[in-house]
Amino acid sequence: MSQLGVMDLIGLAVHALGRNGLRTGLTGLGIFLGVAATSATLQVQHITSQRIQQRFAEREAPRVQAWVWRQGQLADLTAIQTELAGVASVSAAMGLGWSQQAIYQDRAVPVQGMAVSDTYFTTTGRQMVQGRYLNATDFADYRSVVVIDQTLAQQMFRDRDPIGTNIYLSGMAWQVVGVMEAKTTEQRGSGEQEGELVIPLSTQMALTGRQQVDHIFVRPEDLRDLERLEGQVKTLLQQRHPEYLQGIWAQFDAPRTATNVADIQADQETLATATRSLLGVGAIALAIAGVGIANITVASTLERTKEIGLRRAIGATQGDVLWQFVLESVVVSVVGGVIAIATIEGVTLGITRYEPFGLPAYEFNGRNAVLALGAAIAVGIGSSVAPALRASRLDPVKALRS
Amino acid sequence: MALSPHNLLIVTLNALRGNPIRSALTTVGIFMGVLAVNGTLQVQTISKGIIERQLNAQIAPQLFTWIHPGITSREQAQAIARLGGVIDSASSTWGSFDTVQRNGQETFVITLPVSPNFPQVNRLEIVAGRFFTPQEMQDFRQVGVLAQDAAMILFPDQDPIGQSLLVRGNTYRIVGVIAMKPFEQDEQTWSTLFVPLSLAHARTGQERITSFSLRPTDWRDLDAQQAKLQQILATQFPDRDPYVEHNAEAIAEQQDILILISRGLLGVGLVALVISGVGIANITFASVIERTPEIGLRRAIGATQGDILWQFLLEAVILSMIGGMSAIAVVDGTTRIVAATFDLPYTFQLETAAMSLGIAIVVGAGSSFVPARRASRIEPMSALRSE
């Protein structure tokens, strides 16, 4: 580059753009639309994936669940933990029998109850809202204690403190030692009515004389291992309990396994596919804007051949000419791109304020803005380089004479 | 117009040929825009086909009817005939709720008398043995098909097939085990034992079908079918209490999401096409300025304002058509390959292609109109002098 500084070049570019307002306007419009389309897609993806993360948070920690109906044993838990890789936590549970109603004073409330092993809280990831977890002493001493969830606390105790009070299950008294958060399940959305409670597995085993468990839960360290673990848990359980593969059991494809987040993951897939397609079309839109820029730059350089010849004659280098035309495109791209990004941000803000989709207040997403702006600049440079290069290589003498 | 259409066309083609780079770039712009629009329309068509296929495989679309205190099979046939569009129907009547014990195990069972095609219509899977046959139903045989979970409780160590089960004084011979989730009622969990519908009729002395489900030929009309059946039953049995429902919720949900995504794609596609239009407008303005002397000359030797307007318009339209048709061809070809590879349903939709091409031409003509009009209004004298 010769003696012209960057600021001078930009000044020249803006001046040249100003000479033909209509042309600059139309070129800018093309970029604006292309960036707006891409930016809108990125925003939609951002908001929808936030919603998905929220749904994950409302569930218990992603895990594999195996329905082992009275065949499962605590020894299976140890086997799973030692023999399979990537297992963060395992726990077992036993159903509480047919009739599940919790009674407090004169209130009888339907509940989903389970007797759980001591690793229940680490496996499900449930946090305590009040009181404490079931601890080692509860299990060791076969205590009649229970942890209820927020829904049940609300239904039974309204605003009174439940800690320390007794509730009745199947005629037995159980002392409430803690309240845990309420979670949704695949079948149950948020706002569903039935409360949940858990009691120590050892106590239930002592009461019923049964040593086998009905459910086994396996929590992976990494969400990506979920599918692999599901298959491995099933195989391992079948190896340890050959009766699953014999006689009548064989036809049931026992033990039945599932994950607790299959529906959310399915939605994630759909979102990923939709985003990819939308971004693809957005890329096409930007490419079209680029073609438009290329086309008009060719026309421009043709029109301004004399001007190019003159500038070269008074000392401009080839690089100067190249930079001049590329910079003109870049300025239009940047201005058009910034306006587009700002517009989409404004629209997103407006929409989320009007209909929040149950998400926290929308914040400016720097990553998406940078992506969109980068795309705009890339299009601007990419499409003007070829014609600008050709213009820079014009013979000054021929150009002056044209 | 002073120029014949034939000559106009020749002049236009020459002009386009005279600036090949410009014509090529403009055509590419339109090509990509139509690619985007036509491509998204194709995606819509294909995914509709996929959804249909998936749905009919997974969620059996059905109409469920409850009617109290029940109708006879002839009345049911009449109603179905009047409704039309039904492939199959399965009936049931009130079940009885009992505690069943066997070898020290106990469970709660609802004995449900049903027609022999019940599992097919309701998409229930037989995991062992078989369901009872129409012959067994006709012969009033005391056979039963037990739900999986009850089978595991009552027959933990042996195969239930061929065994007898005593329920409320009746002995049923188990011929099959069926996969069916237990359900909640009165705060208890109940498993099902399916027995022939004829047994219930024999016991009470009359036919009483209290509920039946229908599989329609076309699942898209479930809403309309539901309303129609409700009306038929209400008219035919005014003193009884019919209630009709369908399970199209899940289907509708999936469709909604797909429609949303398709609309989004189409929106972006149209934006892409608009951008092509902006490009055409831009370059046509530039062309007009460039060719001002040519315009002046042509006007001077007799071309009318209309001739000039038409020429520039036609240049843009021809490029739009070339770009548009090649885009449609490319999309069609690609879709065929993709459909063949993944075994998807696809037939060439003339409407979609015509619509895409139409939009392309409209965009081409619309965006070149203003510059073309400006060109036509150029003063011949000042045009000739400007060089």
Instruction: Give the tens place of pLDDT for each residue, B313-354.
Output: 999 999 999 999 999 999 999 888 888 887 777 777 788 889
Cis peptide before B116 (omega within 30 of 0): no
> In whole angstroms, what is the distance from residue B25 CA to residue B16 CA?
12
Average pLDDT over residues A176-195: 76
User: Is there a contact between A33 and B271 (Cβ–Cβ < 8 Å)?
Assistant: yes
Has residue B114 got a pLDDT over 80? Answer: yes
pLDDT of residue B336: 87
Question: Would an 8 Å CB–CB cutoff place A321 in contact with chain B?
Answer: no
| DSSP secondary structure string for all residues of A303-359 | HTHHHHHHHHHTT--HHHHHHHHHHHHHHHHHHHHHHHHHHHHHHHHHHHHH--TT-
Band (pLDDT 50/70/90 cuts) for residue A176 is very high
Give the pairing of strands A87-95 and A256-259: unpaired
As a whole-number percent, the residues of chain B with pLDDT over 90 amount to 22
Mean pLDDT of chain A: 85
Mean pLDDT of chain B: 84
- In order of B63, B78, B79, B245, B347, the CA distances from B218 in angstroms are 12, 20, 18, 16, 20
Band (pLDDT 50/70/90 cuts) for residue B226 is confident
Chain A positions in Cβ-Cβ contact with residue B101 (cut-off 8 Å): none
CA B317 to chain centre: 35
pLDDT of residue A396: 86
Band (pLDDT 50/70/90 cuts) for residue B30 is very high
As annotated, the residues of chain B forming the CATH 3.30.70.330 domain(s) are 61-92+208-246
Overall CATH class of domain B61-92+208-246: alpha beta
Chain B positions in Cβ-Cβ contact with residue A292 (cut-off 8 Å): 29, 275-276, 278-279, 282-283
Band (pLDDT 50/70/90 cuts) for residue A1 is very low
pLDDT of residue A98: 47
More confident residue, B273 or B238: B273
Average pLDDT over residues B245-267: 77
> In whole angstroms, what is the distance from residue B150 CA to residue B131 CA?
16
Lookup result for tokens 């036919």: B207
Written as six digits, the tokens of A141 are 């001493």
Could you tell me which residues come within 8 angstroms of residue A70 by beta carbon, excluding any fewer than 6 positions away? Answer: A210, A212, A213, A214
Has residue A2 got a pLDDT over 60? Answer: no
Rg (CA), chain B: 35
Closest CB to B269 among A27, A281, A287: A281
Average pLDDT over residues A83-103: 80
- Residues 280-309 on B with a CB inside 8 Å of A are 281-283, 285-287, 289-290
Has residue A185 got a pLDDT over 80? Answer: no
Has residue A189 got a pLDDT over 60? Answer: no
CA B364 to chain centre: 33
Chain B positions in Cβ-Cβ contact with residue A296 (cut-off 8 Å): 279, 282-283, 286
Q: Which residues pair with B246 in a beta bridge?
A: B63
Band (pLDDT 50/70/90 cuts) for residue A333 is very high
pLDDT of residue B365: 94
* Cβ–Cβ gap A292/B36 under 8 Å: no
Has residue A193 got a pLDDT over 70? Answer: no
User: Is there a contact between A379 and A289 (Cβ–Cβ < 8 Å)?
Assistant: yes
Has residue B17 got a pLDDT over 70? Answer: yes
Half-sphere exposure of B192 (CA within 13 A, CB side): 23
Question: Would an 8 Å CB–CB cutoff place B265 in contact with chain A?
Answer: yes
Closest CB to A291 among B25, B151, B177: B25
Has residue B69 got a pLDDT over 80? Answer: no
The Cα of A221 is separated from the nearest Cα of chain B by a number of Å equal to: 32
> In whole angstroms, what is the distance from residue A117 CA to residue B277 CA?
67
Interface test with B, best of A22, A26, A271 (most B CBs within 10 A): A26
> In whole angstroms, what is the distance from residue B200 CA to residue B242 CA?
21
Question: Would an 8 Å CB–CB cutoff place A376 in contact with chain B?
Answer: no
pLDDT of residue B205: 80
Has residue B60 got a pLDDT over 50? Answer: yes
CA B159 to chain centre: 44
> In whole angstroms, what is the distance from residue B306 CA to residue A14 CA?
37
Q: Which among A298, A300, A324 is positioned nearest to A311, based on CA atoms?
A: A324
